[in-house]
Amino acid sequence: MRKQKPKFPFKIIITVIIIFTILLAIRVTVMKLKNSDYFKINEIVFSEKDLNDLSYLKGHNIFSVDLDRESFYLLRKFPDYRKIRVIRVFPNRLYVDFVKRMPLAYVKLYRLFYVDRDSVLFNAPELVIDPTMPVISGLETKIFGPKAGTRYDIKELRAALEIIKEIKNNRVFKDYSIKRVDIADFTNISVFLSFVSPVVNTILPQAGIGELLEIKIGPDHIADKLNILSSLLSQVNSDRFNIKYIDLRFKEPVIKLKDKDNASKGGKRP
């Protein structure tokens, strides 16, 4: 029986040659593009402000720029922004898109910082204080040497932000302003609310200047407790100004009236 001669792999060789030719053509094209004056950067546009921080890229070929590296450089320099993207605009421009961080509250440390919903601290204006912005206090022993642009994933801050978000998302609290969340004692978290006029957006005179309603909430089952609180506040109506604090840390809410002789407990409503 005759042995068959092995077939010469023409198809494989031709395929390899074609692939090699294509890759070579791509490489030559890329090299030409990188050396072309037509693609040299002559303008850098910023969405937020006029900066010179990327001026060193002018004259460079647009294909040679590492966009991720430049974005990271800008994020480290401008921590008040959540995201910064450097985008090529052909043939010879770069566009830098800034996405601001949205402050959810102040955090009181050696000075006031903003904090966003991702627990990232960033710079707040020192001379202009927003009185409608909640203040989170009691973190001085939890956050040391705070740096703008850094995320602080600690249970105390997470709890405070959850409380603020839950209150802001509940329509029953639309007439209340969160003034402060005291997180110094994690087992005894307190929230201080002021009643706000829906018309003029100021504290009503009958509430008394500087008078706040304290809500003792604790760290557990925050959403459930705030649902209970919203139910209580929707029932007390005008009597809300007689309440000194509401304690939600127990199985039944405790309502303490300003008149010590009229305190009510265990679900009784003033």
pLDDT in tens, 37-80: 788 999 998 887 766 678 889 999 998 899 999 999 998 888 88
Residue 240 covered by a domain: yes
Torsion from C-alpha of 53, 54, 59, 60, nearest 10 degrees: 140
* 113 shares its domain with 73: no
Name the residue with higher pLDDT: 7 or 222.
Answer: 222
Residue 6 covered by a domain: no
Domain boundary among 96, 115, 141: 96
pLDDT at 206: 43
Domain of 75, in residue numbers: 11-96
CA 40 vs CA 50, 93, 219: distances in Å: 20, 8, 57
Domain boundary among 96, 131, 158: 96
- State how many domains the chain has: 2
Residue 229 covered by a domain: yes
Q: What is the pTM of this model?
A: 0.76
pLDDT at 52: 64
